[in-house]
């Protein structure tokens, strides 16, 4: 059914090249102002402890979920002590008409859930590359449906297979704002 694949060409805005504008989220909270939507999102990011849940993330698939036929007695996740390296989190705000931005990587959608503060559902994507546990979540602001917030979790360990426009270029340079709960010392200034 969905046939919309690429991209910014359609549209009403001939704009230049890619048209989308990239805006990094300010840590200062300029957007908070009195908006609940924006504030909420920021608060969540900074509030998250990123303790890395032992849930089935890697290692063995194990029975994370409950199969309808069998009731797993195994509680998902029991690894205690395992810390695993922390996953860097990058949040980007993009202005686009489509939620799915092609950054050059292959993403497989693995879930969609609606958030409370947003009328639009949040989509969860995962890198299909083997060994690349990078996750990406896309969320659209109900306040500004034109604004799409993309949050990247982890870092790609493989090179981009697609050399789209300069998107990758920008993405590569986008590693600026890090929304983490324990590792965000430097990089305070977007422009160093």
Distances (CA, A) of 132 to 40, 94, 153, 165, 168: 29, 24, 11, 23, 17
* Cβ(123)–Cβ(114) below 8 Å: no
Nearest to 129 by CA among 101, 108, 153: 108
* Alpha-carbon span 126 to 132, nearest angstrom: 9
Which of residues 39 and 57 has its CB atom nearest to DNA in the complex? 57
Which residues bind to DNA, rule: CB under 7 A?
1-3, 49, 51, 53-57, 61, 63-68, 72, 75-77, 106-117, 122, 124, 126, 128, 135, 137
Which of residues 13 and 59 has its CB atom nearest to DNA in the complex? 59
**Least separation in angstroms between CB 113 and DNA:** 4
Which of residues 112 and 173 has its CB atom nearest to DNA in the complex? 112
**Least separation in angstroms between CB 38 and DNA:** 14
**Least separation in angstroms between CB 90 and DNA:** 14
Which of residues 80 and 192 has its CB atom nearest to DNA in the complex? 80
* Alpha-carbon span 100 to 138, nearest angstrom: 8
**Least separation in angstroms between CB 15 and DNA:** 26
Which of residues 17 and 112 has its CB atom nearest to DNA in the complex? 112
Residue located via tokens 């590569």: 172
Distances (CA, A) of 152 to 40, 72, 111, 176: 18, 31, 15, 12
Label residue 88 exposed, middle or buried (CB < 10 Å: 0-12, 13-18, 19+). middle
**Least separation in angstroms between CB 161 and DNA:** 11
């Amino acid at each position: 059914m969905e046939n919309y694949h690429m991209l910014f060409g359609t549209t009403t805005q001939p704009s230049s090249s890619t048209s989308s504008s990239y805006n990094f989220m300010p840590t200062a909270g300029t957007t908070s102002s009195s908006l609940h939507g924006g504030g909420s999102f920021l608060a969540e990011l900074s509030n998250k402890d990123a303790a890395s849940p032992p849930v089935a993330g890697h290692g063995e698939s194990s029975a994370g979920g409950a199969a309808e036929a069998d009731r797993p007695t195994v509680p998902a996740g029991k690894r205690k002590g395992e810390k695993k390296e922390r996953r860097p989190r990058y949040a980007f705000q993009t202005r686009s008409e489509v939620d799915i931005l092609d950054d050059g990587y292959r993403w497989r959608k693995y879930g969609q859930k609606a958030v409370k503060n947003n009328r639009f559902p949040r989509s969860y994507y995962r890198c299909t590359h083997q060994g690349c546990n990078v996750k990406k979540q896309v969320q659209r602001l109900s306040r500004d449906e034109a604004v799409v917030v993309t949050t990247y979790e982890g870092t790609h360990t493989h090179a981009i297979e697609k050399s789209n426009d300069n998107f990758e270029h920008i993405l590569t340079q986008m590693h600026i704002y890090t929304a983490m709960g324990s590792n965000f010392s430097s990089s305070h200034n977007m422009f160093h």
